[in-house]
Structure 1
Amino acid sequence: MLGTFSSVAPYLKFNPKYVITDNFVFKLHYRWSFIILLVATILVSSRQYFGEHIKCISDTIPAHVINTYCFFTPTFTLVRHLNNSALDKGIIFQPGIGPEQSQNEEIKRHAYYQWVPFVLFAQAILFYIPHILWKSFEGGRIKALVFGLRMVGLTQYIKNQSLQIGKLNLPSMEEAESRVKNIRRAMIDRMRINQSWGAQLVLTEILNFLNIFLQIYITNRFLGGAFYTLGVKVIQERWTDKMDALDVVFPKVTKCHFRKFGPSGSLQMHDTLCVMALNIINEKIYAILWFWYLFVLVMTICGMVWRLCTFLCYKNVRFTKFTFSHFAKSGRIDYQELAAVVEKCNFSNWMFLFFLRSNLSEFIFKRVIFHLASELPNPEKDNSINDFLDREHSAVAAGPSGLAPTSRLDDVDTPLLANRDCAKMD
C-alpha cells in the first residue's frame, strides 16, 4: 500500500537546499491542499484495498452485468425513507431504502461516484496553478542569489576554501564577498528595471484567495448542494442519530432499476439493491475536506489582510524592522541603515528584501543592508541605469587625459564584508 502513495513522497521530503519564495498561506494551497487531494484521488482509485465501487444483488441478472449497468446508470434512494423515526422503529434497515408506492415517488439520484477521482484530481491541479504562475513570475531570482548562503555565518571561520558538509556548501570568505556583491548589484538593478515583482506576487495570492472559494463552490455543486453545511451537520448529528448528513449524501446501500425484455417480448423491471462500498471512503474524504477548506479559507483571509498591511505600512521602518525580525528570521538589524534602505524602496523592492531576509543568515543580511543603505538609487531621481551613469559621468572631473573615467554600477569602493570603520573582518 505504501508503494501506491510513492507519487506523493517527493512533496514530503525535507530539502536543505529549499529556497523560500512564498509564505505559509501559499504552502497551504500548493503543497498541503495538493497533497491531500492527490492522496484522496489515489484512495478512491485503489480498488485492491476497498473492493469494487458497487455490487448489486440480483437473482436473475448476471452479477457483472447488473454491476456495470448500475455503475454507469445513477442509483437512487427514496426521499420518503430518509428519516430517523422509520430507522429507529425498524420499518427500514438503511436510510432511503424501502418499498416504492408509485412510479412518481420523489427520489434522490446519486451519480457523483462515477466522477469522484476526476474531480478530486482536477481540484488538486487548480490548487497548484497559482504556484506555477508565481514560479514563472519569480524566475528563480531569489535562488540564484542566495543559493549556498544558508549557513554563511560560519564563513568568518573559513578563510580561503569552501567547506562541503553533506548536501550543504559553506562558502569561503572570498566567495561570500562575491555573493554579497551579486546581491547588492541585483537589488540596485531591480529598482530601475523590474517594478512588477510585488504586483505579480499579490496577483497569485489573490488567485489563491479566489481559488478556495471556487473549490468550495465546485464541491457543493458536485454533491448536490450538500457541502456548505456538511461539517456542521456531521458535528451535530454524527453521535446522536442513526442517520446523519453523511448517510444522506453518501448512502451505503442504494436502489437500481434494471429493465429488459422477457421471453414474450414484454418489458420487465428488476428492482435491485446496490452496496456502495467506496462511499465509506468518500464520506471520510469530503468530511475532512470540509474542515480543511474552512481552515484554508480562514488562513487565506488572514494572509490577504497581512498582505494589505504590508502594502500600507512597508514604508514604516518600525513595521519593517518588526517584520524582518519576526516573520523572516530572528536577528537584529540596524535601525538607521534599514531606514535608509526602506526610504528608497517601493513595494516590489521591499518584498524582494523580505524574501532575501527569509533565506539569508543574519551575518550576510546585515552586510547587505549596510551596503545598500549608501548605494541604493533614489527612486524620485534615478529612474534608469542610463540616467544614473549620465549623472556620474557629468559629475566626475576630467582626468589629465581630458577624458572622464567610466563609472560602472558594479564598482565597490569599500570592502563588501567590512565593519563601519571599513576594516576587513577577520
Structure 2
Amino acid sequence: MSLVATFGSIKNNFKLKPQQYIIDNCVFRLHYKATVLFFLVASVLVTSRQYIGEHIRCISDKGVPEHVMNTFCFFTTTFTVPYVNTSKEALDKVEAEIKALDSKLLDTGNLAHPGVGPYGIDSDEPIVRHAYYQWVPFVLFFQGIMFYLTHLMWKKLEGGRLRFLVDGLRYAAFSFNEKEMKIGGNKIPSKSERVEKVNLVRKMFIDGIYINKYWSLKLMICEVINLLHILLQFHITDKFLGYRFNDLGSSVWQEGLDSSVDVLDEVFPKITKCTFHKYGPSGSIQFHDAMCVMALNIINDKIYTGLWFWFIFLFICTILGLIWRLLTFLLHARSRGFNRLVFAGSCPGRLNPWNALNVSNHYSYTDWLFLVYLSKNVDPLVFKEIFLGIAEDMEERKAMKQPLLEAEELNIFS
C-alpha cells in the first residue's frame, strides 16, 4: 500500500480548503487546522506497521516462544539500565560524567547498546522503565482533539452572526441581472436582493441589533485560552514522557545526533531489556532475559522532536497574535494610518482613511473588529459599498443630532 493510500482517509476528511466563513485569524487556524493535522498524521504513523514492521521484536532463549515474548514485552514495561558497569561510587558523581563513561564503553566496543547490559535478578542497580509507547497513538489522537475544542468553543460563542449577515453577499459583486442566478452551485443574487441585503447589514450595524460589545471580548478570551492551552499541552507531553520533553528540542539542537549517547536514545531507546517470569517443571520460577528492538521509537523520536519545535513556533505565533490584538485595540480609533493599513486590501481604489477613523470614533472596538471580519467574508467591492454607506449613515445621524444639541444649549443658557 502506498503512502498516498495510507493517508487517503485523512485527506478526504480533513481537507485544507479555504474556510467558507472566516471568523478567526491565521494564528487561530494554526491551532485547530495545522496542529490537528500534525497529530492525526502522527497517530497514523505510529499505528502503521508497513513502514517500520513489527513495533517490537525481542531476542530470547528458546524457553519462551518468540511471539509470546514479543506480546508480553509490548504490553508490559521494558526497561533500560542507564548506568551500565558503573560502581556505586560512580553513581554519586555528576550526571554528565556518568554519561561520558557510558559513551566511552560504547566507543571502545565494551557495550553493545546504550542502556543494555547485565542486570541480575537481585540487582539493586537503578533502571528506567518505558511504558509510554503503548499509549502514544491514543495520547496523540486526544491531544489533537483538544486543539480543536477552542475552535468549537468560539463557533458556539460567535453564534453564526457573521454567516447570517454575509450569507447572500459572497457573490453579490456579480449581481448584474434582475433575477437570481446559480452557477456551479453558487447563488448570485439579483440587483434588488443585493441592495436589500446591503441595506440590511448597514441598518443592523448602525442600530447594534445583531452585534453586542461582548463579541470581541469572547474572541480575545478564546485567543488567550489558545496560549494557555499550549502551556498545558507542553506539561501533559512532558509528564507523559517522564519529564524529559521540556528540554528535548534544545538538547537535540545543542548535542546533535553524532554522539554515541544522545538525548533521543535516552528518552526513546531503540534497544531495551525485558524479563519474562515462567514456572519451571518443578514449580520454581525461571527468569528469561530478552533484548528487544523498539522499532516504533524510530518514529516516536521524530514525532516528539518535531512536536517540541512546533509547540515553540505555535507559542511564539500566539504571543505575536495577542500583541497584534492589543495593538488593534489601542490604535483602531486613534490612527488613520493604521486603519488605512488594515482596510487596504478590503476596499479597491483609494479609501478615505477618515471614514475608517470616523466609524471607530463613534463605535466600539467590537464594531470595528466586526467590520474587519466582514471585509474578509465579502467581495471588496461589496464591502466598500457597505463601509462607505455606514460612514454616510453616521454622518447623517450626527447632522440630525447637532441641532438638538444646540437647542438644548440655548435652553440651558436662557
Matching of residue 109 in structure 1 with residue 112 in structure 2: no
Partner residue in 2 for 1:153:
173
* Inter-partner Cα distance in structure 1 for 2:181 and 2:256: 59
Q: 1:207 to 1:323 in 2, by over 3 A?
A: same
* Inter-partner Cα distance in structure 2 for 1:190 and 1:42: 48
Partner residue in 1 for 2:15:
12
- Report 1:82-97 matches (<5 A): 83-97=102-116
* Inter-partner Cα distance in structure 2 for 1:128 and 1:379: 43
Partner residue in 1 for 2:119:
100
- Report 1:330-349 matches (<5 A): 332-349=350-367
Q: What are the Cα deviations for residues 242-278 of structure 1, in whole angstroms up to 9, with x where unaligned?
A: 3321111111110011112211222211111111111
| Contact kept in structure 1, 2:168 and 2:197, CA below 8 Å | no
Q: What are the Cα deviations for residues 12-58 of structure 1, in whole angstroms up to 9, with x where unaligned?
A: 2434x712111010011000000000111111122344332222122
- Structure 1 residues without counterparts, runs of 5 or longer: 381-387, 392-426
Paired amino acid for 1:337: N
* Inter-partner Cα distance in structure 1 for 2:66 and 2:207: 71
Paired amino acid for 2:281: P
- Report 1:25-424 matches (<5 A): 25-58=27-60, 59-81=62-84, 83-100=102-119, 103-155=123-175, 158-190=176-208, 194-318=212-336, 319-325=338-344, 332-376=350-394
Q: 1:330 to 1:252 in 2, by over 3 A?
A: farther
* Inter-partner Cα distance in structure 1 for 2:66 and 2:297: 20
SS of the residue corresponding to residue 83 of structure 2 reads helix
Q: Which moved more, 1:371-380 or 1:247-256?
A: 371-380
Q: What are the Cα deviations for residues 190-236 of structure 1, in whole angstroms up to 9, with x where unaligned?
A: 36862211111011111101011111111111111211111122223
* Inter-partner Cα distance in structure 1 for 2:77 and 2:161: 52
SS of the residue corresponding to residue 315 of structure 1 reads coil
- Report deviation, 1:324: 2.3
Partner residue in 2 for 1:24:
26
Q: Which moved more, 1:29-38 or 1:364-373?
A: 364-373
Q: 1:161 to 1:192 in 2, by over 3 A?
A: closer
| Contact kept in structure 1, 2:269 and 2:294, CA below 8 Å | yes
Paired amino acid for 1:38: L
Q: 1:332 to 1:133 in 2, by over 3 A?
A: farther
* Inter-partner Cα distance in structure 2 for 1:291 and 1:247: 18
Q: 1:76 to 1:329 in 2, by over 3 A?
A: farther
TM-score by length of 1: 0.82
* Inter-partner Cα distance in structure 2 for 1:338 and 1:176: 23
* Inter-partner Cα distance in structure 2 for 1:273 and 1:343: 73
Paired amino acid for 1:293: F
* Inter-partner Cα distance in structure 1 for 2:191 and 2:169: 11
Q: What is the aligned length?
A: 378
- Report deviation, 1:373: 1.9
Paired amino acid for 2:78: T
- Structure 2 residues without counterparts, runs of 5 or longer: 85-98, 405-414
* Inter-partner Cα distance in structure 1 for 2:138 and 2:207: 46
Q: 1:125 to 1:189 in 2, by over 3 A?
A: farther
Q: What are the Cα deviations for residues 63-112 of structure 1, in whole angstroms up to 9, with x where unaligned?
A: 23222221222111111146321111111121111112661101111110
| Contact kept in structure 1, 2:36 and 2:145, CA below 8 Å | yes
Q: What are the Cα deviations for residues 265-301 of structure 1, in whole angstroms up to 9, with x where unaligned?
A: 2221111111111111111111111111111011011
Partner residue in 2 for 1:398:
none
| Contact kept in structure 2, 1:188 and 1:377, CA below 8 Å | no
Q: Percent identity?
A: 44
